[in-house]
Chain A
Amino acid sequence: MSKRVAFKDSVKVDLVDLSNFARSVRFNSAQERIDVSGFNATGSNEYLAGTTEQTVTIEFYGSYGTGEVHQTLYPLHKNRTTCVIHWRPDGTTPIGPANPELTGVCQILTYGPGATRGDADTYEVEFSAADPAGLSFVTA
């Protein structure tokens, strides 16, 4: 497995290819840490994994044209609609063990585009897993 510089990532939301409008992707999967410690000789704590919270945060360039970022994402948020998202490291090669694709049903619970004078219009959107299957990497 070689190191890589992120250039060719593929980002799709609701089947719309937003790769060229995205510049960063961050997946986070966190399992709650449940303390199940009992009395013991060493005083050490014992934990079990609890519920899983999964999100994908994508930074998009603000674009408001037909079928672009805002027109894709805002209706999903406004109407509380779930959608499938996809991200894989290399969009030019098929999904495989060396090019796994993160996919799952998500919803956009918060949506906050904005702009700063003189700067590129970008904003982050957090996609939260929205069904029991959660977000997972597939290789086929």
Chain B
Amino acid sequence: MTTYKVTGPVAFDDHQPGEEFEAEYDDDLESRAVERGSITIVKGTRKTKKEDTPE
């Protein structure tokens, strides 16, 4: 499980702004949420796509 914090101005996955929570999201969903600023990772490592994966 990864610990996240809601950093965006609106709730994310039923967690309110500023709230920390544990969850397990798939790589793409986590990446989108972090990049748009909805959440940050408090504890755990960010899942990233392999750089050498051809498009």
Question: Are A65 and B32 in contact (CB-based, < 8 A)?
Answer: no
B10 surroundings in chain A (CB, below 8 A): 16-18, 20-21, 67-68
Question: Which residues between 63 and 81 of chain A lie within 8 Å of chain B, taking CB atoms?
Answer: 65-68, 71-72, 75-76, 81
A90 interfacial by beta-carbon distance below 8 Å = no
Question: Are A14 and B32 in contact (CB-based, < 8 A)?
Answer: yes
Q: Report how many residues on chain B are interfacial, defined by Cβ distance under 8 Å.
A: 16
B38 surroundings in chain A (CB, below 8 A): 15-16, 67, 72
How many A-B contacts are there with CB distance less than 8 Å? Answer: 49
B14 surroundings in chain A (CB, below 8 A): 17
Question: Are B36 and A67 in contact (CB-based, < 8 A)?
Answer: yes
Question: Are A67 and B32 in contact (CB-based, < 8 A)?
Answer: no
B22 interfacial by beta-carbon distance below 8 Å = no
Contact partner, A15, options B9, B28, B33, B37, Cβ 8 Å: B33
Give the shortest distance, in Å, between B44 (CB) and chain A (any CB): 17
Closest chain A residue to B17, Cβ basis:
A67
A16 to B32 alpha-carbon distance, docked (Å)? 11
Give the shortest distance, in Å, between A137 (CB) and chain B (any CB): 19
B residues near A (Cβ < 8 Å) are 7-14, 28-29, 32-33, 35-38
A residues near B (Cβ < 8 Å) are 14-18, 20-21, 65-68, 71-72, 75-76, 81, 83
Known: A14-B32, A68-B8; 17 extra A-B contacts, CB below 8 A, are A15-B38, A16-B11, A16-B36, A17-B10, A17-B11, A20-B10, A65-B9, A66-B37, A67-B8, A67-B36, A67-B38, A68-B9, A68-B10, A71-B36, A72-B38, A75-B32, A81-B28
